[in-house]
Structure 1
């Protein structure tokens, strides 16, 4: 069923348009080779991915700072796999990860197709909790930046999703309001509940198609947005 009265479409970036897991895995493979870290990337990622998600949750909740996230997620993962590294190497890997992450730019299936389709009738925007210095590079290198009128990140807004202030900031920047806007994202807490709580319509993007709430519009492929927009 098509949404009525929508003029502005807001997207999350990582895990929604930009395939973070795939690009991150390729980045670790690259920086491990650069720094002669002899560990299987698959073994590392098995531990890293849940650890990273937990650090991002703490970061969203304002319980840790960016530097703690960047160092802690690597340090904890190396400890979990029993691979000894010193503080200097962890800091080097942390910096190299940020440097090289945007050199890989795999997008989710049908990203260009849906952005081409939506841009004909809607104004498109980004709201992301990602780091300022990386998000613009990701969008530019993957050639999607021109689709978006505004880009709001948590460092510019001063708060992170699901804090209502970041959505208010983005709506003001876009010169629109919640009743005319829809948020599309992969995080049920940050994107869906955050936007819903300020009156925005929402579409939950989940490639695993986990039915978390039958009252929430849900897709597992971006092209399915055509059902609603």
Structure 2
């Protein structure tokens, strides 16, 4: 088994519980903006539709089909369209409130803190590689109390590229003064995290709680974060 020195983590859906934190934020928005008075009668439908559309938008971003700004400016409009709501004037307020609330949420995925403590005690050098926004990701890490674990936080804004582009992995290694053969990428996104790292020559651990199957085999495939402790 390779001897790793540097561990590069994705943040959302890998350590930070995006679904739970987003659902809490959306619930607050639903009640604050009284969306039940605008034809959205089910909070559950609102949250479910948002998650589906937001997931697709981020997938489009990862593939280079849209820009960051498009996600911020259009996701709530697309949600309302999907819910057949045409009597709601959608301004920037709702999107801005979501971006204010979301990073304040602190829920982490099960086993995240235990894994980070384990890695820190083993003297691994830990870093984040994310396609998220600089300020938003920094707030998420501060709110959930994990910022102290990481030496570098690599974003597409800093690197001038996004996962799975080779440029962001090159930037990450250079920033950390790391070599590919002593590095491991850990993430939940098959294309952005796993294939991006493997194509660049970095081993990749696929956090795969739904046991998804792909043609190529990652270096490691785990269904729970605690499984990584037996690997590292």
| TM-score for both structures, normalised by structure 2 | 0.92
Q: CA deviation at 1:61?
A: 2.8
Q: In 2, Cα distance between the equivalents of 1:213 and 1:110?
A: 28
Could you say which residue in structure 1 is the equivalent of 2:99?
98
CA RMSD of aligned residues (A): 1.4
Shift of 1:29: 0.7
| Alignment partner, residue 70 of structure 2 | 68
213-222 vs 187-196, which moves further: 213-222
How far apart in 2 are the matches of 1:13 and 1:41?
26
| Other-structure match for 2:145 | 143
Question: Corresponding residue for 2:120?
Answer: 119
Q: Is the 8 A contact 1:183 1:201 kept in 2?
A: yes
Moved more, 76-85 or 143-152: 76-85
Per the TM alignment, residue 75 of structure 1 is displaced from its structure 2 partner at its CA by 1.0
Corresponding residue of 1:225: 228
Give per-residue Cα distances to partners, 1:12-66, cap 9 Å, x unaligned: 0000000001100100111222222223221012222222122112222333222
Q: In 2, are the aligned partners of 1:185 and 1:204 still within 8 Å (CA)?
A: yes
Q: CA deviation at 1:191?
A: 0.1
TM-score (norm 1): 0.93
Q: Is the 8 A contact 2:27 2:47 kept in 1?
A: no
Do the aligned residues in 2 keep the contact of 1:25 with 1:41 (CA within 8 Å)? Answer: no
CA distance in 2, matches of 1:200, 1:71: 34
Q: Matched residue pairs, number?
A: 225
1:77, distance to aligned residue in structure 2 (A): 1.2
Helix, strand or coil: the match of 1:68? helix
Quick check: 28-37 or 111-120, which moved more?
Answer: 28-37
Where does the alignment leave 5 or more consecutive residues of structure 1 unmatched? Answer: none
1:7 corresponds in structure 2 to 5
